[in-house]
Amino acid sequence: MRVGIALIIIADLLIRGNDLTAHYTDEGLWPTNLIHNFGWKAGNWSLHEISGTYSWALSLFIIHFVFALFLLFGYKTKLATLLVWLLTISLHNRNLFVQQSGDDLLRLVLFWGLFMPWNAYYSLDSKKERFRIKQTTLASLGYLILIASVYFFTVSLKTSAEWRAEGSAIYYALSLEQIRLPIGDWLYQFPMLMKLLTWFVFYIELAIPILILWPSKKGNLRLMAFILILLLHIGIGYTMYVGLFFIINIVTGIGLLPKNVMDKFETKLKLQSDKVIRHVKNTSIVKYSINTICLLVIGISFIINLSAVNWFNYELRKEVWYPVNVLRLDQYWGMFSPSILKKDGWFVYHGMDSIGRQWDLYRDNEYVDYKKPEHIVSMYKSDRWRKLAENMQNDSYTFLRPQYCRYIIREWNKKHPNKKMNMLNLYYMEKQNLADYKTTEVKKTLFCVCNDN
């Protein structure tokens, strides 16, 4: 799991690095002077906000990348885990509006990794010292409860008729052309299959937490849970454009695999795990401190998750939320809950130059085409941009629209000095998905008007 998580962080940094200027500098669409104005909570912090320059953002990305390599190879593993976790919190806080729930899961597993002995095998540390720290029981329990919570609370929050009565949730999810992939196009042709898959998803999400937490001497139930997680997220990843979300969920579940399975894996691949020569015992003070932290985090996380369901009325006090926000222990597992988003559509970038000539900035054409693209999902460079677009469609995030609009026209004019635009009208062509493959009439909405200044 350590190796897999390190690889995910490296891949994520490379993907985000392609949009370093756009998402993490003052020249982009979310400058540092706005960070505290929207979405910021008491206790949040970010090293990335110290400066809005490209060089500062790049320096932090490089440092993050280097320590992710340390984590990958198991060199100074505990220190690398701590620094990767802190840098991940800082990165996530820098731009909250390109984040998705997979990022929360990754961040929380890194937290539990601080207390688990994932430096004991397949690491440079174990080659050098050949040790194995005894498992911290509460940390292991915290990890198991985290993975179980993802599925227990996502299914608890799925209260709409689409999930519980109609069986239409997968149909509506695949009706969203802004996330539907080619395999999703194929599946979308079969209404009965989508209905069966809706029930399948609902009940395996219900079964996974039971399989994880139910006592099993050989760990076979956790193995079944991992297999279900694998099937579920491969299905999601191949039909919907969700970036690293499905991979994060699979990799963070690797810790569920029982020892007998890993032993067979080692034998088949002719791997030799490092043998334990000596045990390193924690002192009583350290042990009790770690157990106290783990117990507090388990309890707080449980309350945070319960507060999301309708029947639980208690919420954490403000004084407790401050350290929760400092450590970014906040979590919400309401994926496609309580119902499926039905608003769908695409953006049109209607530019005009100094003498009123129009230009389509997306297609680089003098004719502005408002028709639906063949594949809406192809309009997004990465899932970070898709998530930003999804947030901009929400009326609670209208403040993102002018920032995005100004960034687009600035970048256009930098790249096209001979076709500079004085103004950009950002339109959203909105439709609502209905039952039986029907939609409402497309509604043309002006999101923002901006100029290059």
Residue 133: the pLDDT is: 55
Cα separation values, 430 from 178, 311, 314, 357, 440, Å: 11, 34, 38, 25, 9
Dump pLDDT digits (tens) for 216-265. Answer: 888 899 999 999 999 999 999 999 999 999 999 999 999 999 988 887 77
Dump pLDDT digits (tens) for 284-342. Answer: 888 888 899 999 999 999 999 999 998 888 889 999 999 999 999 999 998 888 889 99
Residue 219: the pLDDT is: 86
Dump pLDDT digits (tens) for 80-120. Answer: 999 999 999 999 999 999 999 999 999 999 999 999 988 88
**Predicted confidence (pLDDT) at residue 272 exceeds the cutoff of 70:** no
Question: What's the mean per-residue pLDDT of the chain?
Answer: 92
**Predicted confidence (pLDDT) at residue 129 exceeds the cutoff of 70:** no
Average pLDDT over every residue of 56-84? 97
Residue 121: the pLDDT is: 83
Confidence grade of residue 277 (pLDDT, cut at 50, 70, 90): very low
Average pLDDT over every residue of 415-434? 95
Average pLDDT over every residue of 131-160? 87
Confidence grade of residue 195 (pLDDT, cut at 50, 70, 90): very high
Dump pLDDT digits (tens) for 18-37. Answer: 999 999 999 999 999 999 99
Q: Which residue has the higher pLDDT, 207 or 270?
A: 207
Query: What is d(CA 197, CA 186) in angstroms, rounded to the nearest whole number?
Result: 14
